[in-house]
Amino acid sequence: MSGLNLSDTPLAELLALRSAINAEITKRGHIRTAASLEGELMERVVADAYGGQLSPPTNKSVDVVLQDGSGIQVKVRSLPRGVTRFWSFGDFDFDSAVVISMDRDTSGIIFARELTRAEMQEHSMLAASGDYRLRMGTARGLGLDVTARLHAAYERLR
């Protein structure tokens, strides 16, 4: 499907196509809410890569529960390659976090890091809004590199 040219497609048709694509991805069980597609997919990828289960969508702090009962918070930023910002966390009510940087243009994983709660607390800053923020540039050098592990799980999605 590479080489698909949509430049002459009217906006209404593009939106209908996007809606149909989202419906198909939902039907396949990869997304469960109206949140960002990348975030939903990466939660599934992390669950698959770690052998865990997705938490109910109402659980704000834990996205994936592992067999030992520990909880993982999954955070995704989908930005143009080379652009960095931060991930926001409302609290640290999780055992570990997996932060993922994705290329907005290709939907590919640029990097993924697994960080402990202690690493998150040490390297996050409290923002005026009351949430905690971890800079992408800082996170890239922390914790455990799980990029290859997530790439493999992402490739297995159908």
Domain annotation covers residue 128: yes
Query: Has residue 1 got a pLDDT over 60?
Result: no
Q: What pLDDT does 10 receive?
A: 78
3-state SS, 78-146, equals EECCCCCCEEEECCCCCCEEEEEEEECCCCCEEEEEEEEHHHHHHHCEECCCCCEEEEHHHHCCCCEEC
Average pLDDT over residues 75-104: 93
- Quote the pTM value: 0.83
Domain annotation covers residue 148: yes
Cα distance between residue 101 and residue 71, in whole Å = 20
Tokens coding 24: 């198909």
Task: Find out whether 112 and 99 touch, Cβ atoms under 8 Å.
Answer: yes
Cα distance between residue 113 and residue 146, in whole Å = 5
Q: What is the CATH number of the domain that holds 134?
A: 3.40.1350
Give the containing element (helix H, strand E) for 53: strand 53-54
Query: Has residue 145 got a pLDDT over 60?
Result: yes
Q: Shortest CA distance to 76 belongs to which of 42, 118, 34?
A: 42
Cα distance between residue 12 and residue 26, in whole Å = 21
Lowest mean pLDDT among 86-95, 119-128, 149-158: 149-158
Domain annotation covers residue 136: yes
Domain annotation covers residue 6: no
When pLDDT is cut at 50, 70 and 90, the band that residue 34 belongs to is low
Average pLDDT over residues 60-80: 95
Range of the domain at 80: 35-156
When pLDDT is cut at 50, 70 and 90, the band that residue 81 belongs to is confident
CB atoms within 10 A of CB 149: 17
When pLDDT is cut at 50, 70 and 90, the band that residue 33 belongs to is low
N-terminal to C-terminal alpha carbon distance within the chain: 15
Average pLDDT over residues 42-57: 95
Number of domains in the chain: 1
Domain annotation covers residue 54: yes
Q: What pLDDT does 105 receive?
A: 80
